[in-house]
Amino acid sequence: MAEVSEKVELFSDEKRGRGVRATTFIEPETVLLVENPYILTLEEDYRRNRCNYCCKEREKLRACGGCNFVYYCDRQCQASNYSDHQYECKYLKSSGPECDIWIRTRTLLMALQKHLKMQKKRSRNVPTHNAQGFPLTPEVLYMKKYAPPSDEIPSPMPDMDRLWEFVKAKDLPITKDLFKKFQGILNANMFSVEDSHARCKIIGEGLYTRVAMFNHNCHPNCVFISNGREISVTSIRPISPGEECTISYLKVMAPTEARQRKLKKWYDFDCDCKRCVQDIEEDRLMYAIKCPQMNCRGSVLPWKPSNILNGRYLACDACHFDINETEVPDNIRQTEMEVEGFLSRKKNYDYQGQLLEECGPVLARLDAVYQPYHWRVYQVVKKAFKVALKLDQAETALLYGIRCQVALRNHLEVCVTLLGTNLWEVGQLQAQLGMNLEAVRTLREALPIMEIAYSGQHAVNVQAQALLATLTSTVKDALATPDNSHKGVYTQGSNVEEE
Ligand SMILES: C[S@@+](CC[C@H](N)C(=O)[O-])C[C@H]1O[C@@H](n2cnc3c(N)ncnc32)[C@H](O)[C@@H]1O
């Protein structure tokens, strides 16, 4: 396939700017675009154990002789990466190998200088767009408006200030305006880089100028799949000719109010997709609290989910108790603020173990007031799951992973592909812990969803099928009565963005 399928084209719209739409009927599981990055940067946590070019995890890597900061599998990977790494090598050397550099600083430095070099080439007629009109270079991408707190270099990150000093000291032809422009471009267009073979870990960020043409929808008809350097966009539902092809920029299960807040903050637009405008019932359920009446197991839902902190609640759906005149709404406000504070704590690696320990008491507090499928419970459980995975605490991760499923199953209409990823991660953990029968059941449930979310022959699916086959052979007898309860449940429904 060409990099961009002939089944899609670019179009432009007053509100969203450029976007991608179907030129013909598109079946689910159709790969619409495959792209390698303009720039890719590994997360600090993975810098020492992954190749800076191919992103693969290796026990033995060789450091770059120039900066001693990044690592490669071999000379070949190093040579392939030279065209990008040359722009940061000196900066990294001046920082020293132990320095903890913010990932975006490195991306910005490389993108800016690569841009300058390309500009020179452009005077020799190097194109800025491909034959279908998709950008080949970042300066023609959408730029998020940037409102600096002062006239100085607009960043609360000391790292960025250091970078600016470096740029000035080296006398690079980079003006403050260009520096800010590229910050704005990166803020609106970066994609996370994942390793599909490592439980879909986010290992870095990449700038993909063609994938950046896809607009957002909270109930999209496509997903983007990152697998090391390569990113692809695949349809997950049928798309009619002329219909816009969309992905979700948010990798979260969240009610409308929270999604809109994030989209505004991160991408500077007000989402008006169907799910944002119409679907408030789903939102209500994501905010469900437990009825405080003794012995009542009912739920209390918000009157207006878009205004949860100042709004009123409906009567309990079982005993009809009205909580509005009690202290419960105040408790909820308090709990919301606490959980928000907890979730926004810094992602510092040394702190991760402590963060995991704190999840227990926070969850106990949430469990007392929220239903187990409340989105805040999901957020905390999910955080604990990811941290436990990162710390290789398999048993703890398994517990939290299974707890995530409570919310995902309750909001299946919009979370089905998230459930697919979760089941894949949980299945691998069960296999790792020798729980082969459970793993087989989990993977059997995961595969039909993954086949849609990742498209048939994607490396993750091949890996999942192989694991399932191996495990199945070890538990043949126990599987004499097959567990088919899940069959056909997910393939019918619509899907939402992969996590
Ligand atoms: C990655 S770019 C997508 C391509 C962009 N439309 C362009 O013209 O280059 C992200 C930006 O597109 C716009 N955008 C994406 N989805 C949108 C939507 N559903 N509604 C309004 N604007 C959207 C926002 O300005 C966002 O910051």
State the distance from the centre of ligand 1 to the C-alpha of 153, rounded, in angstroms. 25
| Structural domain contains residue 323 | no
User: How many structural domains is the chain composed of?
Assistant: 2
| Structural domain contains residue 256 | no
Atom number, ligand 1, closest to the C-alpha of residue 216? 16
| Predicted ipTM of the assembly | 0.99
State the distance from the centre of ligand 1 to the C-alpha of 97, rounded, in angstroms. 37
Last residue of a domain, one of 160, 192, 224: 192
State the distance from the centre of ligand 1 to the C-alpha of 268, rounded, in angstroms. 9
Long-range contacts formed by 398-407: CB under 8 A, 24+ apart: 398/426, 398/429, 398/430, 398/433, 400/359, 401/425, 401/426, 401/429, 402/426, 403/372, 404/378, 406/372, 406/373, 406/377, 406/378, 407/253, 407/372, 407/373, 407/374, 407/375, 407/377, 407/378, 407/381
Distance (Å, whole) CA 380 – CA 227: 26
407: Cβ–Cβ under 8 A, 6 or more apart, which residues? Answer: 253, 372, 373, 374, 375, 377, 378, 381, 415
- pLDDT at site 199: 64
State the distance from the centre of ligand 1 to the C-alpha of 137, rounded, in angstroms. 17
| Structural domain contains residue 177 | yes
| Structural domain contains residue 233 | no
Q: Look up residue 321 and give its two tokens.
A: 């108790």
- pLDDT at site 410: 86
Residue nearest to atom 15 of ligand 1 (CA): 215
Atom number, ligand 1, closest to the C-alpha of residue 142? 9
Atom number, ligand 1, closest to the C-alpha of residue 141? 9
Question: For a pocket test of ligand 1, which of 18, 142, 144, 497 has the largest count of ligand atoms closer than 8 A to its C-beta?
Answer: 142
The one-digit pLDDT tens for each residue of the chain (499 residues) are 558 999 999 999 998 999 999 999 999 889 999 999 999 999 988 999 999 999 999 999 999 999 999 999 999 999 999 999 999 999 999 888 777 788 888 999 999 999 988 887 767 777 889 999 999 999 999 988 755 444 444 455 567 778 888 888 888 888 888 888 898 899 899 999 988 776 667 899 999 999 999 999 998 999 888 888 999 999 988 999 999 999 999 877 888 888 998 899 888 899 999 888 875 677 888 999 999 999 999 999 988 877 777 788 999 999 999 999 899 888 888 898 888 888 877 555 567 788 888 899 999 999 999 999 999 999 999 999 988 988 889 999 999 999 999 999 988 777 788 898 899 999 999 999 999 999 999 999 999 888 877 766 777 888 899 999 999 988 877 777 655 554 443 333 333 333 3
User: Pick from 271, 228, 265, 266: which is nearest to 246 by CA?
Assistant: 271
| Structural domain contains residue 226 | no
Residue 148: CB atoms within 10 Å: 13
Atom number, ligand 1, closest to the C-alpha of residue 16? 22
Q: Look up residue 14 and give its two tokens.
A: 């007053």
- Sign of the torsion angle spanned by Cα atoms 456, 457, 460, 466: positive
Amino acid at 136: L
Last residue of a domain, one of 176, 192, 208: 192
- pLDDT at site 361: 93
| Structural domain contains residue 22 | no
Say which residue the tokens 């992973």 belong to.
Answer: 401
Atom number, ligand 1, closest to the C-alpha of residue 214? 3
Question: For a pocket test of ligand 1, which of 33, 137, 207, 216 has the largest count of ligand atoms closer than 8 A to its C-beta?
Answer: 216
- pLDDT at site 496: 32
Distance (Å, whole) CA 363 – CA 373: 12
- pLDDT at site 164: 84
State the distance from the centre of ligand 1 to the C-alpha of 211, rounded, in angstroms. 12
| Structural domain contains residue 359 | no
**What residues line ligand 1, using a CB cutoff of 6 Å?**
15-19, 141-142, 144, 188-189, 212-213, 215-216, 267-269, 271
C-alpha pair distances (Å), 486 with each of 409, 492, 494: 12, 12, 16
- pLDDT at site 7: 97
- pLDDT at site 346: 58
- The domain in which residue 65 lies consists of 39-192
State the distance from the centre of ligand 1 to the C-alpha of 215, rounded, in angstroms. 5
Residue nearest to atom 27 of ligand 1 (CA): 267
Atom number, ligand 1, closest to the C-alpha of residue 12? 8
State the distance from the centre of ligand 1 to the C-alpha of 210, rounded, in angstroms. 13
State the distance from the centre of ligand 1 to the C-alpha of 190, rounded, in angstroms. 12
| Structural domain contains residue 109 | yes
**HSE-CB for 81 with a 13 A CA cutoff:** 24
Last residue of a domain, one of 192, 222, 254: 192
State the distance from the centre of ligand 1 to the C-alpha of 80, rounded, in angstroms. 32
State the distance from the centre of ligand 1 to the C-alpha of 216, rounded, in angstroms. 7
How long is the chain?
499
Question: For a pocket test of ligand 1, which of 10, 267, 274 has the largest count of ligand atoms closer than 8 A to its C-beta?
Answer: 267
State the distance from the centre of ligand 1 to the C-alpha of 239, rounded, in angstroms. 20
- pLDDT at site 149: 43
> Do residues 57 and 49 lie in contact, with contact meaning Cβ atoms separated by under 8 Å?
yes
Atom number, ligand 1, closest to the C-alpha of residue 213? 4
Distance (Å, whole) CA 79 – CA 365: 53
